[in-house]
Amino acid sequence: MSELIEAVIGSEEKGDLREFASFLRQQEKRYLLRNDILTAFSEYATNRQKPENFYKSSNLEKLIYYTQEIIREDSNLYLIIRPKIASQEVYRLTEDLAVDRITVQELLDLRDRFVNHFHPHEGDLLELDFGPFYDYSPTIRDPKNIGNGVQLLNRYLSSKLLQEPGQWQEALFNFLRVHTYNGVQLLIDERIRSQQQLSDRVKKALTFLNDLPNHQSYEEFRFELQTMGFAPGWGNTAGRVRETLEMLDESIDSSDRQTLEAFLSRIPMVFKIVLVSPHGWFGQEGVLGRPDTGGQVVYVLDQAKGLEKQLQEDITLAGLDVLNIHPKVIILTRLIPNSDGTRCNQRLEKVYGTENAWILRVPFREFNPNMTNNWISRFEIWPYLETYAIDAEKELLAEFHGRPDLIVGNYSDGNLVAFLLARRLKVTQCNIAHALEKSKYLFSNLYWQESEEAYHFSLHFTADLLAMNAANFIMTSTYQEIVGTPDSVGQYESYKCFTMPDLYHVVNGIELFSPKFNVVAPGVNENVYFPYTRHEDRIESDRDRLEQMLFEREDPTQIFGKLEDPRKHPLFSMARLDRIKNLTGLAECFGKSQELQAHSNLILIAGKLRVEETTDREERAEIEKLYRIIDEYNLHGKIRWLGVRLPKSDSGEIYRIIADRQGIFVQPALFEAFGLTILESMISGLPTFATQFGGPLEIIQDKVNGFYINPTHLDETAERILEFISKCDRDPHYWHEISQRAIDRVYSTYTWKIHTTRLLSLARIYGFWNFTSQENREDLLRYIESLFYLLFKPRAQRLLEQHMQR
């Protein structure tokens, strides 16, 4: 029995548990989530006139705090308890307080009965269990180390080198000699024929290098090293080559985690990278603000630039300039023939500011040109991805003149394509989810059948399961993206155990303690987004033009609202107009607070102004809702709504203009996986108020360099903003203090240099792990392939048949 339940039943609070259970049985709701449970407990304590210490420190309060869900069936209550992060226990509580622990399978049956109101026949639903396939790999023990998987992997690999030296030294030797670039051998050539010979030659080379000055160029002694069997790739100077060979020597003789990680991170094995992002409008101009296009485009473009730059630096440090090696990064996305004035109909487009980074657009096959010639929502994209991967493979092989070295998927569809490509090309696969839709839509798996026509969650969640388990490593922006917080379930954690009634049960969807998870936060483009105080880097004509647009210009095609007093401090937000981004919630918060309106104007840059201009159902609904709120609260004269698509350079200057006027940035999303706009506003020097649900909890340190808000509590949000404004009125320096701390926070933690260095280090380490564990992974990949063809593909085919009729 759970210690939490036992502490209640074994104490004087047993009667309170009985009363509270009776109180719950009288409630209309039969399925209570955590907030419902806490609210019900508060009502119970108030109704029974319980003392304050009962509500705050009783054993029953502790049990309630850790209970994530309560399901009522007949007279029984089922408690889903999360006593610690990444751990779940389920108990049935009867009317006479008998407690039985129930299995995962019984819980999933219970949830099915809750939806379908009947008892499912035993054994007639597919169970998905990925657990056994993780038996071959090491496992993290302490939840606080989740998301730092590479450290565990390095400890495991170095211990194997010590415990089974012959086998693992042979694996390391074989790994080093497979590396080539366009047919040119790197690292070690045929002169070194065994692991023992490698060890001997390393010592010989170190003796030779000890007589050379550290700064001596590799070109001056490369041929002496080659006679010993060492091909290019060890370093660009005598000092660098000596350091690298010393790491190898130590790894062979007495490996430790840090040395092995440092050595593997230097191996020149990544030169050609694919970043996969199929859905949405992907381009460098005229795409921001369109459906399915936002932080995704900014992130991937900046990542491509950072990776190319870091790859070139690594190539130079490895001494490979002598071979005239140049890295190449390709962003693989979708070609959209009807491109609506964008460049999304161009097959190949060079990424600005790079030497060899490109956007490669591959079209969907024309099953029905009425569909495939146009933008397709991310919820409808699934039928085209298998053939897209097949076509993309041919295009990539032609562009790279061979295979890429690393494939990085972005979002659910990109990750599925990354799996299909990596499987065919036999290269390392990295996944970046950014946001998993399952966490964003309440009960989306339980009631998937009701929303299938609009969202096709059966395909979406199946694709997530396949891709996340297939990936060699997964990068997340935050720790809580994986396993949440002590009082909230993480995005990946939500895939651990769930049901899709009448389709399948997931009894173990992902191993959260696997070393494949690594937290690697994105950066921010410092050429575009920089502090408002750097006046020398700002362009006066841009500032004047954008100030006019933000506060004064009249253009009914793009701008709604004329400000009565443009001098008020602006409250500013910029996002897509969809339900999750919740800009309508911010407008309502502003509308309900006369005091906020007295101090500030609300400036929104969001989507379109008219419903007839969009085909996205959520955007249409939010446009209508925003107009209703403006009229209901009579915000005319106090709000500016700009339906414009901005180039990145303009968006950077807009943050700075808002900062010039000592404004505030508000990010009111109902859930935000990370929040690039938060980084952009903070580095610009804007005090930032951001949702407490998701990634902002790890970006912002509350009341130090920004502020948390609960966007579902409108009055409380207004009070927090007003508290800041009042403090600034009392102390004019306070705005500047928060501004500077926000800038410092980004520069210390969130740069693309930090991100790309870490990503490439992970790619090399997991590349070695993939090389040594391929045989053990084959059973998992076969299982995933089977599920793809048995589960995913038939449902995708049915959706394609619907598309053929449009």
Q: pLDDT tens digit string along 350-359? A: 999 999 999 9
In 3D space, the residue among 149, 136, 142 whose CA is nearest the CA of residue 474 turns out to be 149
pLDDT of 56 strictly over 90: no
Q: What is the pLDDT of residue 671?
A: 85
Q: pLDDT tens digit string along 422-446? A: 999 999 999 999 889 898 888 999 9
pLDDT of 123 strictly over 70: no
pLDDT of 588 strictly over 80: yes
| Whether residues 358 and 472 fall in one domain | yes
- Last residue within a domain, chosen from 735, 750, 765: 750
CA pair distance 478, 497, nearest whole angstrom = 21
CA pair distance 223, 48, nearest whole angstrom = 87
What mean pLDDT comes out for the span 796-802? Answer: 97
Residue 507 domain-assigned (yes or no)? no
State how many domains the chain has. 4
CA pair distance 205, 346, nearest whole angstrom = 51
- Backbone φ/ψ region at 350: left (φ over 0), alpha (ψ -120 to 50), beta: beta
pLDDT band at 743 (very low <50, low <70, confident <90, very high): very high
CA pair distance 59, 514, nearest whole angstrom = 33
Q: What is the pLDDT of residue 48?
A: 85
Q: Are 674 and 522 in contact (CB under 8 A)?
A: yes
| Whether residues 75 and 198 fall in one domain | no
b/e map 743-771, b = 16+ CB within 10 Å: bebbeeebbbebbbbbbbbbbbbbbbbbe
**What is the β-pairing status of strands 504-508 and 569-574?**
unpaired
pLDDT of 122 strictly over 60: no
Query: What is each CA distance from 316 to 210, 283, 320, 324, in whole angstroms?
Result: 22, 30, 6, 10
| Whether residues 80 and 221 fall in one domain | no
CA pair distance 59, 54, nearest whole angstrom = 8
Question: To the nearest whole number, what is the mean pLDDT of the chain?
Answer: 93
Q: What is the pLDDT of residue 165?
A: 83
Annotate 224-281 with DSSP letters as a single string. Answer: HHHHTTB-S-S-SBHHHHHHHHHHHHHHHHH--HHHHHHHHHH-----EEEEE--SS-
Q: What is the pLDDT of residue 311?
A: 97
- Last residue within a domain, chosen from 45, 79, 102: 102
**What is the β-pairing status of strands 99-101 and 89-93?**
antiparallel
Collect all residues with Cβ–Cβ distance below 8 Å to 798 and sequence separation of at least 6. Answer: none
Residue 514 domain-assigned (yes or no)? no
**What CATH number is given to the structural domain containing 61?**
3.10.450.330
Residue 739 domain-assigned (yes or no)? yes
- Last residue within a domain, chosen from 102, 133, 159: 102
Collect all residues with Cβ–Cβ distance below 8 Å to 546 and sequence separation of at least 6. Answer: 650, 653, 654, 657
Residue 673 domain-assigned (yes or no)? yes
Locus of tokens 């959260």: 512
| Token code pair at residue 416 | 């599925």
In 3D space, the residue among 543, 565, 597 whose CA is nearest the CA of residue 721 turns out to be 597
| Whether residues 586 and 462 fall in one domain | no
Residue 618 domain-assigned (yes or no)? yes
Q: What angle is formed at CA 273 by the lines to CA 268 and CA 277, rounded to 5 degrees?
A: 155
Q: pLDDT tens digit string along 367-406? A: 999 999 999 999 999 999 999 999 999 999 999 999 999 9
CA pair distance 240, 216, nearest whole angstrom = 10
Q: What is the pLDDT of residue 1?
A: 63
**What is the β-pairing status of strands 600-605 and 569-574?**
parallel
Annotate 472-529 with DSSP letters as a single string. Answer: SEEEESSSHHHH-BTTB--TTGGGSSEEETTTEEEEE---TTSTTEEE------TTTS
| Whether residues 220 and 312 fall in one domain | no
| Whether residues 623 and 725 fall in one domain | yes
Q: What percent of the chain has pLDDT over 90?
A: 77
Distance of CA 248 to the CA centre of its chain: 34
pLDDT of 14 strictly over 80: yes
Q: What is the pLDDT of residue 617?
A: 83
**What CATH number is given to the structural domain containing 560?**
3.40.50.2000
Q: pLDDT tens digit string along 207-257? A: 999 999 999 999 999 999 999 999 999 999 999 999 999 999 998 877 678
Domain range for 222 is 146-177+188-230+234-266
| Whether residues 477 and 572 fall in one domain | no
| Whether residues 639 and 572 fall in one domain | yes
CA pair distance 764, 406, nearest whole angstrom = 9
Q: pLDDT tens digit string along 65-92? A: 999 999 999 999 999 999 999 999 999 9
Q: Are 529 and 743 in contact (CB under 8 A)?
A: no
pLDDT of 524 strictly over 60: yes
Q: pLDDT tens digit string along 462-482? A: 999 999 999 999 999 999 899
Q: What is the pLDDT of residue 766?
A: 94
Residue 561 domain-assigned (yes or no)? yes
| Whether residues 248 and 291 fall in one domain | no
Residue 183 domain-assigned (yes or no)? no
Q: What is the pLDDT of residue 293?
A: 79
Q: pLDDT tens digit string along 261-314? A: 999 999 999 999 999 999 989 999 888 778 787 778 888 999 999 999 999 999
Report the SS3 class of residue 702. strand
Q: What is the pLDDT of residue 738?
A: 97
Query: What is each CA distance from 437 to 26, 413, 441, 444, 472, in whole angstroms?
Result: 33, 12, 6, 9, 22
| Token code pair at residue 83 | 């006593």
| Whether residues 320 and 454 fall in one domain | yes
What mean pLDDT comes out for the span 748-761? Answer: 93
Q: What is the pLDDT of residue 118?
A: 63
Query: What is each CA distance from 606 to 532, 644, 755, in whole angstroms?
Result: 22, 7, 29
Q: pLDDT tens digit string along 168-187? A: 889 899 999 999 998 899 99
| Whether residues 365 and 438 fall in one domain | yes
**What CATH number is given to the structural domain containing 250?**
1.20.120.1230
420: exposed, middle or buried (Cβ count in 10 Å: 0-12, 13-18, 19+): buried
DSSP 785: H
Query: What is each CA distance from 634 to 377, 582, 622, 624, in whole angstroms?
Result: 34, 19, 18, 15
Query: Which spans in 562-616 are helix H?
Result: 583-592, 594-599
| Whether residues 259 and 293 fall in one domain | no
Residue 563 domain-assigned (yes or no)? yes
pLDDT of 157 strictly over 90: no
Cα torsion 218, 222, 224, 230 to 10°: value is 110
pLDDT of 124 strictly over 80: no
In 3D space, the residue among 58, 50, 51 whose CA is nearest the CA of residue 12 turns out to be 58
What mean pLDDT comes out for the span 751-771? Answer: 93
